């Protein structure tokens, strides 16, 4: 396999972007990414675009064809990739493999979702769970994660205050992110006192409904060197699946799919979690961040909640998690999220994270999850020059 580097990124601001069509959001991120990469548009050979459900949200399939056309890059090989909320991570992996294979030198991995377009977002999102055995019986995503939260609380004593600590911390970070949908700090009392969505999860335990797009450019490390780019190398790529339906799992209080994807990425990279300086993880709900940090091996099972409450995952903690503000504060345009995580890794590793910049991080990890743990990707990036 050829060594592969990330050499640029582009993002829209995340939020409720009612006036901007789906195609224009992608075009904005793609053009920014091409410009940031400093390559000629004609050099681009291929594009992968993560999107969960443009069919249901926007009545538009054949997505990669129309989006690349509007981005001014028609003609390239272009493929939409879907793995529910892990669609972005899956698109990054596909782009990585195409460059690694030698088939193409410049491949853009993108993600987009326009969730505010008139469709019922609760229904659209529910299609990431089991249609016949979960959705049909009335379960929604807050309901699924509420069941997982109850199991975690029951098994390990995790508290509402520990859940709230995740939200408070991510809003501290997101307040420093110009791309964030909700860039403001919030108090523990705001989280604990918020209207309930699905007990024990309140409004501020949930990531928002978001419009947005993000892109990153990949090329061989050798080509990146010739271009004089800082070398941000992809050292590990892991992808795994598990049963979608919660009733098919042995344990509701853990996420084996994240553990498996991480094991694969670490095996390729030849490192362990202790070598990682910071992580972006999939905090679609506060309980998800706690369970993901445990599955990645940052903390033992049951220790994710106390660690969040003690500041271990804060920007100045031992294991910074979601310096971008995470899905909670930055927003969660589902197909774009996995790529936005890679954007944050790239910004941090190149010293471009502005007010939320960590001190010279060398290795970052991005974990992107589909549904309630039916799929997950893990990617590890390292500064090698």
Catalogue the active-site residues.
85, 332
Reading the block at residue 75, the tokens are 């003609």
Task: Figure out which of the listed residues 16, 20, 41, 55 binds its own copies, where binding follows CB under 8 A.
Answer: 55
Task: Figure out which of the listed residues 210, 237, 293, 348 binds its own copies, where binding follows CB under 8 A.
Answer: 237
Closest CA to 291 of 200, 162, 125: 162
Task: Figure out which of the listed residues 371, 379, 380, 382 binds its own copies, where binding follows CB under 8 A.
Answer: 371
Tell how strand 232-241 and strand 211-220 pair up: unpaired
* Residue 325 zone, left/alpha/beta (φ > 0; ψ -120 to 50; rest): left
CA distance to 181, 285, 321, per residue, from 175 (Å):
9, 18, 15
Is 184 a binding residue for its own copies by CB under 8 A? The answer is: no
Question: In whole angstroms, what is the distance from residue 331 CA to residue 340 CA?
Answer: 10
Closest contact distance (angstroms) between CB of 59 and its own copies is 5
Closest contact distance (angstroms) between CB of 75 and its own copies is 6
Is 61 a binding residue for its own copies by CB under 8 A? The answer is: yes
Residue closer to its own copies (CB basis): 168 or 378: 378
# residues contacting its own copies (CB under 8 A): 62
Question: In whole angstroms, what is the distance from residue 221 CA to residue 261 CA?
Answer: 24
Residue 228, exposed/middle/buried by CB under 10 A (0-12, 13-18, 19+)?
A: exposed
Under rule CB under 8 A, which residues in 74-133 are in contact with its own copies? 74-84, 90, 93-94, 97-98, 100-103, 124, 127-132
Residue closer to its own copies (CB basis): 37 or 53: 53
Question: In whole angstroms, what is the distance from residue 121 CA to residue 264 CA?
Answer: 33
Is 205 a binding residue for its own copies by CB under 8 A? The answer is: no
Residue closer to its own copies (CB basis): 80 or 356: 80
Is 211 a binding residue for its own copies by CB under 8 A? The answer is: no
Is 191 a binding residue for its own copies by CB under 8 A? The answer is: no
Question: In whole angstroms, what is the distance from residue 60 CA to residue 26 CA?
Answer: 14
Question: In whole angstroms, what is the distance from residue 383 CA to residue 379 CA?
Answer: 14
Is 62 a binding residue for its own copies by CB under 8 A? The answer is: yes
Question: In whole angstroms, what is the distance from residue 329 CA to residue 202 CA?
Answer: 15
Q: Print the binding letters for residues 27-46 with its own copies: x by CB under 8 A, - otherwise.
A: -------------------x
Closest contact distance (angstroms) between CB of 96 and its own copies is 9
Burial 229-251 (b: 16+ CB within 10 A, else e): bbbbbbbbbbbbebebbbeebee
Is 56 a binding residue for its own copies by CB under 8 A? The answer is: yes
Is 207 a binding residue for its own copies by CB under 8 A? The answer is: no
DSSP 223-264: HHHHTT---EEEEEEEEEE--SSGGG-S-TT--HHHHHHHHH
User: Which residues here bind its own copies, judged by CB under 8 A?
Assistant: 1, 21, 23, 46, 52-53, 55-56, 58-66, 68-69, 74-84, 90, 93-94, 97-98, 100-103, 124, 127-132, 135, 237-244, 248, 260, 264, 370-371, 374-375
């Amino acid at each position: 396999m050829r060594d592969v580097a990330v050499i640029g990124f582009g993002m829209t601001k995340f939020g409720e972007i009612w006036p901007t069509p789906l195609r224009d959001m992608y075009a904005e991120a793609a053009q920014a990414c091409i410009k940031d990469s400093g390559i000629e548009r004609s050099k681009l050979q291929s594009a992968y675009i993560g999107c969960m459900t443009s069919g249901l949200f926007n009545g538009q399939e054949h997505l990669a064809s129309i989006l690349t056309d509007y981005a001014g890059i028609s003609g390239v090989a272009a493929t939409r990739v879907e793995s529910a909320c892990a669609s972005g991570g899956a698109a990054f992996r596909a782009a990585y493999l195409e460059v690694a294979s030698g088939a193409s030198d410049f491949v853009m991995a993108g993600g987009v979702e326009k969730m505010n377009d008139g469709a019922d977002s609760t229904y659209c999102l529910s299609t990431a769970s089991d249609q016949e055995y979960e959705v049909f019986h009335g379960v929604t995503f807050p309901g699924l994660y509420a069941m997982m939260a109850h199991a975690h609380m029951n098994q390990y004593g995790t508290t509402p205050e520990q859940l709230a600590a995740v939200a408070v911390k991510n809003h501290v970070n997101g307040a420093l992110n110009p791309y964030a949908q909700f860039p403001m700090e919030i108090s523990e009392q705001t989280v604990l006192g918020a209207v309930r969505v699905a007990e024990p999860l309140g409004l501020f335990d949930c990531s928002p409904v978001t419009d947005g797009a993000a892109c990153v450019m990949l090329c061989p490390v050798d080509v990146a060197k010739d271009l004089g780019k800082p070398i941000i190398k992809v050292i590990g790529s892991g992808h795994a699946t598990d049963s979608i339906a919660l009733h098919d799992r042995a344990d509701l209080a853990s996420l084996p799919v994240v553990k498996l994807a991480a094991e694969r990425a670490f095996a390729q990279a030849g490192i362990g979690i202790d070598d990682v300086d910071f992580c972006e993880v999939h905090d679609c709900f506060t309980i998800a961040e706690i369970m993901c940090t445990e599955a990645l091996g940052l903390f033992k099972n049951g220790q994710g909640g106390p660690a969040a409450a003690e500041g271990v995952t804060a920007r100045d903690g031992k294991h910074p998690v979601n310096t971008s503000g995470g899905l909670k504060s930055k927003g969660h345009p589902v197909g774009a999220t996995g790529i936005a995580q890679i954007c944050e890794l790239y910004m941090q590793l190149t010293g471009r994270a502005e007010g939320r910049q960590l001190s010279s991080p060398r290795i970052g990890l991005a974990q992107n999850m589909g549904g309630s743990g039916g799929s997950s990707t893990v990617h590890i990036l390292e500064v090698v020059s």
